[in-house]
Structure 1
Amino acid sequence: MAAVQHSHAGHGGDAAVPPPRWVAALDGVLGPLIEIPAALLVVAEIIVLMAGVVSRYVLHRPIVWSDELASILFLWLAMLGAVVAFRRGEHMRMTALTGMAAPATRAFLDVVAVAAPLAFLAMIVGPALEFAEEEAFITTPALDLANSWRAAALPVGCLLMLAVGALRLLKVADWRHTVGALALVAAVAGGFWALEPLFRGLGNLNLLVFFVGLVAVGVLAGVPIAFAFGLATFGYLALTTHTPLLVLVGRMDEGMSHLILLSVPLFVFLGLLIEMTGMAAAMVSFLASLLGHVRGGLSYVLVGAMYLVSGISGSKAADMAAVAPVLFPEMKARGAKPGDLVALLSATGAQTETIPPSLVLITLGSVTGVSISALFTGGMLPGVVLAVTLCAVVWWRYRNEDLSNVRRATGSEIGRKFLIALPALALPFVIRAAVVEGVATATEVSTIGIVYSVLAGLLIYRRFDWSRLGPMLVDTASLSGAILLIIGAATGMAWALTQSGFSGQLAGAMAALPGGAVMFMAVSIVAFIILGSVLEGIPAIVLFGPLLFPIARQMGIHDVHFAMVVILSMGVGLFAPPFGVGYYAACAISRIHPDEGMKPIIGYILALIVGLIVVAAVPWISIGFLG
């Protein structure tokens, strides 16, 4: 899931002054200079990967350098995307607590959410430059290029983020917030630096100070999650170990450079594309004609539509943005309460986390080594189980719905809508068949979906708004950069935890739990529900997946079964208020106030937990079709 909370630093007050004109002018120039290359990199990746598929499968003459070039471009896309996200205030933050604060406090914390990342970037840019210089001694095998061409993306990205962050601070209306935030961040950094001799003697208690205390304070104060992780890891390595800091940059590079993660931006773009071309609307319209006359029918359609769209886009934000605007107006016209709508939308977000090509599945496969195609196969049925439990709640809530004004669609209407929806309904099966038949890898298959969607939009649905293409590519780069920077920072943090010996201690403690595999599974469910709500799904998976999967294997739990339980648990936490950031994304997309959905969502969350327990108790649901 990729949910974003925008930070709008600075609110008026008696000290409010408009920013100097040169600041706005400079920002206006810098924006396109970053956004245009980022958008072009998304296009370049699509072309390179599609060329690889065509040359290998159609022409039987593989391009040996395509993966290499894609890898070089990918790190630049990730870093420029992260810069775009930082400029727009779109890096993932937990704003549940800051949202409850008084307006002046909230405005101050919004500025801290810019100042703290600047501190991390200022400290990491030196090691990033050193890392890029070291990579000059390595050359790529096919293109014979120095690896520094790729690694240079890291220091360039950091410098650009420093520039846009400084401009954001200059644009803050109340200069006292800026001065106060910078002073606070400097005081905290100085205090930690002064305490270095104390930290050196604390041993593994430092893990609590940095990875529990500092991360918790940062995340709860609204500092973007990637930078909260980065600050904690940098502080731990700099103040308690003798590890060269370029090692941290190397681990971040490793986390962000996994070629399988290249499917993240491409599936994000595919999600935006199916909404723009009308494919999502065609699917929803067909489902509504089938079930619109049933009590709670459109709620069943919402569950089914999210299942189908998730099988195409991989991005929860894209799924919700494709389905909600199509269904909600008619559901409201039939008397559905806004709170119930956003509650069910959030619940379906959690329910469909395992439906391929979920970005969380792709991330988990990349960090744990579990087969992506096995995860894609295993993820279908758990989503159905949770859909059934959600539908049971829908049936109960809408059993007395008044349908006297609802007209039942005729057979010919259903048939016509089915024919219109058929190209859209076929897309999930095209994507799955391409992976299973070996036409394309899990990374490449998104390009087949993109080409299919473009052709369907142009030739069948005749809906293709060329003017939206540029903003969609920039949005793709921004969301991808935000996700990938979190993965990079979490990879660095997971490495530091492993080096400290914590992972071994955790493994020992989990393996020693009474009750064996059943207790281990139960503890994992509770842990990932909590982690999903506080950390977001992807960082939770990157941090704890590599630690817990080996223990699960020792206990005889199948990798794919454990993956489904972990991902669904994390999804429940991600979409459950008051902390779940996915819930607030659903509210933002629906334009419904979060307070309205708090009560209705309780029933749906309980239904999800029941479904989750069934999936955990019956391994066949996850692994029955693996063959």
Structure 2
Amino acid sequence: MSTLADVKPGGAADAASARGGGSGALARLDAALGMIVEIPVALLVAAEIILLFSGIVARYVLHTPITWSDELASILFLWLAMLGSVVAFRRGEHMRMTAFVGWAPPAARAFLDVFAVAAALGFLLLVIGPAAEFAIEEYEIVTPALEISNMVRAGALPVGLGLMIATALIRLGRVGSVRLVAGAAALVVALMAAFVLLQPALAGLGKLNLLIFFVGIVAGTVFAGVPIAFSFGLASFGYLALTTKVPLLVVVGRMDEGMSHLILLSVPLFVFLGLLIEMTGMARAMVAVLANLLGHVRGGLSYVLIGAMYLVSGISGAKAADMAAVAPVLFPEMKARGAKPGDLVALLAATGAQTETIPPSIVLITIGSVTGVSIAALFTGGLLPGVVLAAMLCVVVWYRYRGEDLSHVRRPTGRELGRSLVVALPALALPFVIRAAVVEGVATATEVSTIGIIYSIAVGLMVYRRFDWRRVVPMLVETAALSGAILLIIGTATGMAWCLTRSGFSTDLAQFMAGLPGGSFTFMAVSIVAFIILGSVLEGIPAIVLFGPLLFPIARQMGVHEVQYAMVVILAMGMGLFAPPFGVGYYVASAIGRVSPDEGMRPILGYLAALMVGLALVAAIPWLSIGFL
């Protein structure tokens, strides 16, 4: 998460809306809702950047720390997460699995897209009452620094959920087919009613309910195209409501807990940084110098693609932003040299998986926040595994392009190479600026992204003279939407993880994994297979939030270093995320490269085999992950 939105966000429901047009009143209401949410959420992202950077200046430069800055940042963060979720829901950008939906006939696809909205609406209606109750209960709690009611922060939950309910109703109203909407809504209501009627039977099934709710419901809704966050929420809410006597506001409390880790504030800030380096031309400058260095070598631009993704990944932390920054620069020239489009998109997807451990990856930040592993250690340990996988990909590139005709390619002069290097130096310095700030104690892992943002703005304005002020607000809104989609998954996945722990599943899992023959070798092998599967179905972040707290203690018991285990888990999930036919990252790479996904299916097999060899080396040689700690 890396974290990736749907390739075709709106889906057939939005297509039906476009055909039907909806009423003019609903269209105006939708536009008004967009304005109501998008302007405040853009201001919230900007406010967090200013607040955290001010905290760095006050503490490190003025030596007068702002005691209330973290508290205010936490309050604003929950509002950013919930309003960002609203923006993502309105745009149809919540993460969902579309493989099976995409294979369905047009009529079934249209129904499933509407069903996804109706199912999400069902969850929102069920949880908004407990969310309001939770916010009211927080009224008596006073924050220590600002001395204001915690209800100011907790109120973001019912407000965000309420706005998503309004959004869902508008989207359903604009579908343009009453029959389609009625059928989808009726199916959702019938399924919920069936579970309520079966409650007496469910109460006596014990742990079999885990299979019904956390396998059956989650798998059924995810494969039907329901956004992952709402699938998790429906399973957790149903499990607590129908099989336990736990108050339902516990679901909201766990959502609040999952979305409120201040370390996660670096997610939107690094997402914005990724958009910023593309807009200011910094990514283009880095790619240009690599192209001049290797463009005259057989397969040289493929090596450039691998190296560019490594460099850009170290800055943005968001794989979609990485691919969008690199592919448009390299693909036209690579196609002109005879590269097949399918091979290009296959390599782009493979580099997305290869760079999952490059700091400041959002998945690294997430794994640190939910497992307690040091973020600084993860940032240090993630560099070399990425190099190992890059080397494996380079072997495949060398083999495939060993006979490439370069007679028409001109080798750049030393002057041209030197000029491109000088131009790229400010951009190439950014990863070192970020890492130096963390190592020297200037900023925390949460704050350091703001240093990168200020640096990128300064370089864009004064060095590259490319800074489109008109794009700033849309970029802030886009940042909030992607972050909201990610954070809502973390919130609902935290609720599900709590339910699994409370049920005793974590104890059973620990006993099963610890009892496997072969000790740590078998444990690592099973973990790799499991997380490749989880990465393809759930994507990295929800899988980490669900299973990280359960498996990392077992890894420690097995004698596996937690940083090495984190690298193995992240790389395995990356392979699943970018591997067809289920990995959504592969389809995002296809969309960015404007290449049919079918064309890359065969070429990616060789790259996946190379990644598996690299992953096996990382799993077998602990030094690759912990040698520099």
- TM-score normalised by L of structure 2: 0.99
Equivalent position of 1:318 in the other structure: 321
The Cα shift of 1:13 comes to 8.6
AA matched with 1:240: T
Structure 1 stretch 524-533 or stretch 7-16: which is displaced more? 7-16
8 Å contact from structure 2 (residues 20, 174) kept in 1: no
Q: 1:457 aligns with which of 456, 460, 483?
A: 460
8 Å contact from structure 2 (residues 381, 626) kept in 1: yes
- 3-state SS of the aligned residue for 1:202? coil
8 Å contact from structure 2 (residues 75, 152) kept in 1: yes
Equivalent position of 2:344 in the other structure: 341
Q: 1:227 aligns with which of 214, 227, 230?
A: 230
Equivalent position of 1:307 in the other structure: 310
The Cα shift of 1:12 comes to 7.5
Q: Deviations over 1:464-493 (max 9, x none)?
A: 011111110100000000000000010000
- 3-state SS of the aligned residue for 1:625? coil
Q: Deviations over 1:420-473 (max 9, x none)?
A: 000000100110110011000000000000000000000000000111111101
Equivalent position of 1:4 in the other structure: 5
Distance of 2:493 and 2:14 partners within structure 1:
32
Distance 1:403 1:62, change over 3 A: same
AA matched with 2:188: V
Q: 2:72 aligns with which of 69, 72, 85?
A: 69
8 Å contact from structure 2 (residues 264, 369) kept in 1: yes
Distance 1:454 1:405, change over 3 A: same
The Cα shift of 1:556 comes to 0.8
Equivalent position of 1:243 in the other structure: 246
Equivalent position of 2:135 in the other structure: 132
Q: 1:509 aligns with which of 509, 512, 531?
A: 512
8 Å contact from structure 1 (residues 317, 585) kept in 2: yes
The Cα shift of 1:160 comes to 0.1
User: What is the correspondence of 1:371-520 to structure 2 with a 5 Å cutoff?
Assistant: 371-520=374-523
The answer to whether structure 1 residue 361 and structure 2 residue 364 are counterparts is: yes
8 Å contact from structure 1 (residues 11, 174) kept in 2: no
User: What is the correspondence of 1:507-586 to structure 2 with a 5 Å cutoff?
Assistant: 507-586=510-589
Distance of 2:15 and 2:297 partners within structure 1:
51
User: What is the correspondence of 1:49-64 to structure 2 with a 5 Å cutoff?
Assistant: 49-64=52-67
Distance of 2:338 and 2:544 partners within structure 1:
39
AA matched with 1:335: G
The Cα shift of 1:8 comes to 2.7
Distance of 1:96 and 1:559 partners within structure 2:
33
Equivalent position of 1:112 in the other structure: 115
8 Å contact from structure 1 (residues 390, 608) kept in 2: yes
Equivalent position of 1:331 in the other structure: 334
Structure 1 stretch 584-593 or stretch 504-513: which is displaced more? 584-593
8 Å contact from structure 1 (residues 120, 227) kept in 2: yes
The Cα shift of 1:18 comes to 3.2
Gaps of 5+ in 2: none
8 Å contact from structure 1 (residues 10, 177) kept in 2: no
Distance of 1:527 and 1:512 partners within structure 2:
17
Identity %: 74
Q: Deviations over 1:336-366 (max 9, x none)?
A: 1111111001000000000000000000000
Question: How many corresponding residue pairs?
Answer: 626
Distance of 2:507 and 2:409 partners within structure 1:
61
Distance of 1:471 and 1:587 partners within structure 2:
24
8 Å contact from structure 2 (residues 16, 110) kept in 1: no
Distance 1:438 1:294, change over 3 A: same
8 Å contact from structure 1 (residues 307, 355) kept in 2: yes
RMSD value over aligned CA atoms?
1.1
- 3-state SS of the aligned residue for 2:511? helix
Distance of 1:137 and 1:203 partners within structure 2:
37
Distance of 1:506 and 1:37 partners within structure 2:
43
The answer to whether structure 1 residue 283 and structure 2 residue 286 are counterparts is: yes
Q: 1:148 aligns with which of 128, 146, 151?
A: 151
8 Å contact from structure 2 (residues 17, 175) kept in 1: no
Distance of 1:14 and 1:69 partners within structure 2:
40
Equivalent position of 1:100 in the other structure: 103
Q: 2:260 aligns with which of 257, 260, 266?
A: 257
Equivalent position of 2:269 in the other structure: 266
AA matched with 2:85: A
8 Å contact from structure 1 (residues 9, 172) kept in 2: no
- TM-score normalised by L of structure 1: 0.99
AA matched with 2:354: Q
Equivalent position of 1:162 in the other structure: 165
Equivalent position of 2:81 in the other structure: 78
Distance of 2:109 and 2:14 partners within structure 1:
9
Q: Deviations over 1:49-95 (max 9, x none)?
A: 00100000111110000000000000000000000000000000000
AA matched with 2:96: R
Distance of 1:140 and 1:344 partners within structure 2:
50
The Cα shift of 1:11 comes to 7.4
Structure 1 stretch 16-25 or stretch 167-176: which is displaced more? 16-25
8 Å contact from structure 2 (residues 17, 176) kept in 1: no
Distance of 2:474 and 2:258 partners within structure 1:
27
The Cα shift of 1:19 comes to 1.1
Q: Deviations over 1:82-131 (max 9, x none)?
A: 00000000000000111011011001101011110000000000000000
